[in-house]
Chains A and B, each alone.
Chain A
Amino acid sequence: MDPFVTLTAPAVPLDIANIDTDQLLPARFLKKPRSAGYGNFLFHDERKPGFPLDDPAYAGAGILVADRNFGCGSSREGAVYALVDGGFRCVVAPSFGDIFAANAAKNGLLTVTLPEDVVAGLRRQLQEAPGAVVTVDLPAQTLTGPDGRALSFSIDPFKKECLVEGLDDVALTLRFQDAIDAFDRTDAERRPWVVPNGE
């Protein structure tokens, strides 16, 4: 996974609440291998005149500024692949689907949660000045909008560490191998009914 430290990129506003992962990646593309280029499937069925991602003024956007509950619905990680392969490294919203946010962190896509009015303000600035850039500094936990105001955001320290260092968390977990083995031994005695023993 590519580390995420800082990012300065044009941002595109999307004034729609409850963008679900079916919209991000319609289900019929789920059977495609990653090599098919998931960027081609991003918002596939939403691509009609007036859709901000197709507005040339927002060409080259690397940051998406959305509304509440972004990425709700299906757990499909392909929704994150579609954003990443489509050139996005950061999504800003008032709230995210939990599973989407977890998937994003595993793929180097930063999710920044900010209050609803602050995010609405950012979207307005981007609508008024299409193509304006936003800067994200993950170690400092700040996002600077087109108006030059630096906004602080909070992030889970573990998620931050994984993103900044581009960590593969299986490798990290394997450092806890002894603890896992010990848990399994104790648990087998404590809850012997957990392992199904035949049909």
Chain B
Amino acid sequence: MTSQPRSLFEKVWDAHVVATRPDGQALLAIDRHFLHEGSFHAFGMIDHAGRRVRRPELTFAVADHYVPSHSRSKPIADPEIANMVTMLEANAGRHGLRHFGLHDPAQGIVHVLAPEQGLTLPGLTIVCGDSHTSTHGAFGALAFGIGATEVSHVLATQTLWQRRPRTMRITVHGMLGPHVTAKDLILAVIAAIGADGAAGHVIEYAGSAISALSMEGRLTVCNMSIEAGARAGMIAPDDTTFSWIEGRPFAPKGELFDRAVGQWRILPSDPDAGFDREVTLDAADIAPAVTWGTSPETAVPVTAGVPDPAAEGDPVRARQMRKMLDYMGLTPGTPLEEVPIDRVFIGSCTNARLEDLRAAAAVLRGRRAVVPGLVVPGSVPVRRQAEAEGLDRLFIDAGLEWGEPGCSMCVGINGDLVPAGERCASTTNRNFPGRQGPNARTHLMSPAMAAAAAVTGRLTDVRKLDVRKLGAS
């Protein structure tokens, strides 16, 4: 053990290096491997090579990408989609893996389910064939997305070859204002550093605005680290983290839990730890945000107008702005609050936890949505708790649909699509061209902002609506 001051990332990294090559590549031990329906390529690779899963007890399969948002009691109508769900079950069964299938009482989006079940813990290395695996860094884990060949490598060896990434600390001082959420914070970060601003880096989020966040908020922040190009995002574990974990189904219990907490308490970065890059933001400068373009880096305060490419000095960038505005059907100079929307989607691994649904429901209480919308909770336990609190009634009474847990309209592969040309106020993570369906137009925002847009039928500053917090239950 070295006495050099180390960052949270360095401590977790160092504890997992199995071997190092002379060229600096490290063989990292992997503590958790999550799989979803897209894992069929990787299972094909290990089956083809005649390899077995090395650590089935650390490997968990979750059906989320292709599961239907409605009518789960009936068979899935589309045979190709049904095949994706049954293939995962078959692969998990054949290799003896715990499988959270369509009808499991814990089923949900993998990045909602794993923290909820106590599978995500501080200090772990966590991988999944999904870029939003960065979510789990909210617990002080080193968590990142990998491709199919790397998934097959982890299945066979429970390790991964990695070059040590650089480090970046993003400190957010102060406190977020009313109705300014973790989503607005991370959109402000991405806008500040760019969609590739953290490429090759692991981000540590720090500062009073971060430590004041709930676990749900921290998960939202770390979730979108990938949208800034980061390898991973991490937040130092603290008492908020430990009390969230305690008592969860797969979390260590009793004496083992106490021993774990003892080890987790020494994970936070040492006071003099160095970072390759430092970025500082003031929470007071962060406003409810929306995106205007087809990259999350186009997030701006909702009070802004659509930017004008003519004001952009770089001709290549100006042309790219015009292309985005053309796709989005927007005219430069239009106040964003005058942009009409066609539908809303509240859900995804970014914003489908209880806190998110409560924030959206508080806006919708006593109001009617003037556009269609879909609310998809992140997991069955989130759905049950929301129903116990009557949130489902608030959504349904406002005219929105209440769905079954899964990725749904964020990626649109279970059949939930935004029709071509329609404009969607969405709590998801990507506004890429075609992401929610061919020629669909996505504006990213927080759950409260999406609910406000549903009520007015246009992009709306939620602070201008009279919103009171819901009761505790």
Contacts from A to B (Cβ < 8 Å): 15-18, 20, 22-23, 26-28, 30-31, 34, 45-46, 67-69, 72-78, 80, 95-99, 102-103, 106-107, 120, 156-158, 161, 169-170, 173-174, 176, 179-180, 183-184, 187, 191-199
What total of A-B pairs shows CB separation below 8 Å? 182
Q: Mark B18-61, 1 if CB is under 8 A from A, else 0.
A: 11010111010101000000100100000001010000011000
B157 touches A170 (CB 8 A): yes
B413 touches A170 (CB 8 A): no
B81 touches A68 (CB 8 A): no
**Which has the most chain B C-beta neighbours within 10 Å: A16, A69, A102, A192?**
A102
A20/B149 contact (C-beta < 8 A), A31-B80, A158-B21, A193-B257 known:
no
Q: Is B195 an interface residue (CB 8 A)?
A: yes
B150 touches A102 (CB 8 A): yes
Q: Is B175 an interface residue (CB 8 A)?
A: no
Q: Is B281 an interface residue (CB 8 A)?
A: no
B130 touches A75 (CB 8 A): yes
Smallest beta-carbon distance A155→chain B, Å: 11
A169 touches B320 (CB 8 A): no
B147 touches A103 (CB 8 A): yes
Residues in B neighbouring A187, C-beta threshold 8 A: 29
Bound together, the chains give a CA A67 to CA B319 distance in angstroms of 13
B163 touches A158 (CB 8 A): yes
How many residues in B have their beta carbons less than 8 Å from beta carbons of A?
80
A-B contact list, 17 entries, CB within 8 Å: A16-B323, A17-B320, A30-B413, A31-B83, A45-B438, A45-B439, A73-B131, A95-B199, A97-B199, A106-B147, A169-B153, A173-B156, A173-B157, A173-B159, A184-B158, A187-B29, A195-B57
A193/B252 contact (C-beta < 8 A), A22-B435, A170-B153 known:
yes
A180/B319 contact (C-beta < 8 A), A20-B430, A196-B57 known:
no
Residues in A neighbouring B159, C-beta threshold 8 A: 173, 176, 180
**A28 CB contact (under 8 Å) in B25, B257, B320, B413:** B413
Smallest beta-carbon distance B462→chain A, Å: 28
A26/B434 contact (C-beta < 8 A), A77-B148, A80-B147 known:
yes
Q: Is B121 an interface residue (CB 8 A)?
A: yes
Q: Is B229 an interface residue (CB 8 A)?
A: yes
Within 8 A of A (CB), among B124-157: 124, 129-131, 144-150, 152-153, 156-157
A45 touches B19 (CB 8 A): no
**B256 CB contact (under 8 Å) in A18, A26, A156, A193:** A193
A98 touches B433 (CB 8 A): no
**B196 CB contact (under 8 Å) in A69, A173, A184:** A69
* Residue ID in chain B nearest A194 by CB atoms: B31
Residues in A neighbouring B250, C-beta threshold 8 A: 196, 198-199
